Structure 1
Amino acid sequence: MSKSDQTPENQQAPEVDVDVISAESETIESDVEGTEAAEDSADAALSSDEIIAQLREKLEATEQKANENWDSFLRLQAEMDNQRKRSEKKVEDAHKFASQKFVEALLPVVDSLEMGMAAEGNIEQIREGMGLTMKQFESVMEKFNIETVNPMGEKFNPELHQAMAMQPNPEMENNTVMAVMQKGFTLSGRLVRPAMVMVVKN
């Protein structure tokens, strides 16, 4: 082995300028960071423009939808107003002409009464005609669920009867109707007029 190949222990390694290398590295890193920051700024600006464009599109679509909904609301409101007016008219007509069918059913009875008033003859014939007219009228009442309250001999019922007087009667029990001064009437089970009666009180 030659002396040139041998490295003495006391031989030092060549010195390297560390400060220069560090400065160059920092400069390179600074340039790279500046470039990346510029690119990020450009991307951010581009993204902002896209976001603004998207927001404008959404705003226009929302305004269009709002206008469509407003038009639908106005049409619906007008339709509801018309429907309310039609309903009020129907209710008004129902109240005004509720008794039309009943009146139509009574007209033959009126005709019969007029014919009876114009008839000539004895009293029996007139009574017979009145009896027929009465049956005709009772038929109309039955057709419209009008029932007579005639409680003669029944127990007094304050829901259907109105006591006009009280008298003793040994042949009848207490609280029994002994006389009907005026008949009562019900319409489909609802009291229209109570029967005026005289009640037994022994």
Structure 2
Amino acid sequence: MPDNVQTDSDRPNDGATVEQAANDAPAQSPSADGDWQEQVARLSAKNAELADQFLRSQAEMQNVRRRAEDEVSKARKFAVEGFAESLLPVCDSLEAGLAHKDATSEQIREGAEATLRQLKAALERNKVIEINPAAGTKFDPHQHQAISVVPADQEPNTVVTVLQKGYSIADRVLRPALVTVAAAK
């Protein structure tokens, strides 16, 4: 085969041109040596640029992670802030009621009832819901705690009386209602 004919194994693959193949060939002249030095310099510059981008990305990720941790920490620390704000008027009402030295028992009762309404409204605004089942309501072990089973003239396994109200927040029971339950006949 003549020396100037390229075989398939000599041809550049992946669509490379003959010029690219010539650039990839070992340098045989002093001018080609300069091309290699230029290419090494370009690749070194590109490597430095990519390393810088990588370091900046790493730093940005650390900053994002730190900001997220700070936000979670603040959310936990101040989670009850809104709830506490809604209870402050209740505290103010109790203090104002105690400041009245010459209040009659009727005034004290009215003040206590008004303060209780304020407290219940503050709880409801913060999604704390009262669990107070009516007599005859089916016993729900997820919301009620049976203190005793008593004979009663109603369906078995239903609430007879509520001894202490329960409370839930969202769908989670904070405290179950303490109830007595009708016994089976």
What TM-score comes out, normalization by structure 2 length? 0.78
Name which of 138, 150, 159 aligns with 1:155: 138
- Displacement, 1:111? 0.8
Identify the residue that residue 172 of structure 1 maps to in structure 2: 154
For residues 1-202 of structure 1, the aligned pairs below 5 Å read 47=28, 49-119=30-100, 120-153=102-135, 154-169=137-152, 171-201=153-183, 202=185
CA RMSD of aligned residues (A): 2.0
Q: Which amino acid aligns with 2:168?
A: T
Structure 1 residue ranges (4+ consecutive) displaced by more than 4 angstroms after TM superposition? 44-51
Query: Post-superposition shift, 1:194?
Result: 1.1
- What secondary structure is seen at the aligned counterpart in 1 of 2:129? strand
Verify the 8 A CA contact 2:166 2:177 in the aligned structure 1. yes
CA–CA distance in structure 2, aligned partners of residues 52 and 141 of structure 1: 82
Count residues with an aligned counterpart: 158
Distance 1:134 1:141 in 2: 11
Structure 2 unaligned spans of 5+ = 1-24
**TM-score, length-scaled by structure 1:** 0.71
Q: Which is richer in helix? A: 1
- Deviations along 1:88-139, one digit per CA (max 9) or x if unpaired, are 1111010000110110110000110112223232222111110111111111
| Identity level (%) | 42
| Structure showing greater Rg | 1
Contact 2:27 2:33 in 1 (8 A): no
Gaps (5+ residues) in structure 1?
Answer: 1-43
